[in-house]
Amino acid sequence: MSLIVQKFGGSSVKDAEHVFNVAGIITDTYKAGNQVIVVVSAQGDTTDDLIAKAKEINPSPSKREMDMLLSTGEQISISLLAMAIEKLGFPVVSLTGWQVGMHTDSNYSAARIRKIEQERVQKELDKKNIVIVAGFQGINRYDDITTLGRGGSDTSAVALAAALHADLCEIYTDVDGVYTTDPRIVPNASKLEEITFDEMLELASLGANVLHNRSVEMGKKYNVNICVRSSLTKAPGTIVKEVVDMEKMLVRGVAKDSDVARISICGIADTPGKAFKIFSLLAKKNINVDIILQSIGRDNMKDISFTTPEDRLEEALQILEENKAVLDYQSLDYTKDVSKVSIVGAGMVSNPGVAAKMFEALYEAQINIHMIATSEIKVSVLIDAGCETKAVRAIHDKFELG
Interacting residues toward its own copies by CB under 8 A:
16, 19-20, 50, 53-54, 56-58, 61-62, 64-66, 68-69, 71-72, 75-76, 78-80, 82-84, 86-87, 93-94, 96, 98-99, 120, 143-145
Q: Could you tell me the smallest distance in angstroms from the CB atom of residue 16 to its own copies?
A: 5
Sign, CA torsion 332/336/341/345: positive
Nearer to its own copies, 80 or 395 (CB): 80
Half-sphere exposure of 292 (CA within 13 A, CB side): 9
The nearest distance, CB 190 to its own copies, in angstroms, is 38
Residue 79 CB, shortest distance to its own copies, in Å, is: 4
Nearer to its own copies, 123 or 184 (CB): 123
**Residue number with CB closer to its own copies (127 or 184):** 127
CB 348 within 8 A of CB 379: yes
Comparison of 93 and 387: residue with beta carbon closer to its own copies:
93
- For the bound state, the minimum distance from the C-beta of residue 127 to its own copies, rounded and expressed in Å, comes to 12
CA 249 – CA 237 distance, rounded (Å): 19
CB nearer to its own copies: pick between 102 and 189:
102
CB of 320 closer than 8 Å to CB of 265: yes
Name which of 149 and 177 has its Cβ closer to its own copies: 149
Cβ-based nearer residue to its own copies, 93 or 158? 93
How far lies 326's CA from each of 274, 300, 317, 320, 321, in Å? 9, 17, 14, 9, 10
Please give the full DSSP string across 203-242, using - where no structure is assigned: HIIIII-SS-HHHHHHHHHHT--EEEEESSS----EEEES
CB of 40 to its own copies, least distance (A): 13
Radius of gyration over every alpha carbon of the chain, rounded to an integer in angstroms: 22
CB of 194 to its own copies, least distance (A): 37
Q: What is the DSSP string of 240-300?
A: EES-----S-S--EEEEEEEEEEEEEEEEE--TTHHHHHHHHHHHTT-----EEEPPPBTT
Cβ neighbours of residue 282 closer than 8 Å, sequence gap 6 or more:
289, 308, 316, 319
State the minimum distance, in angstroms, from the CB of residue 319 to its own copies.
22
For CA atoms 322, 328, 329, 330, give the dihedral sign.
positive
Q: Which is nearer to its own copies, 84 or 158 (CB)?
A: 84
Kindly state the smallest distance separating residue 68's Cβ from its own copies, in Å: 4
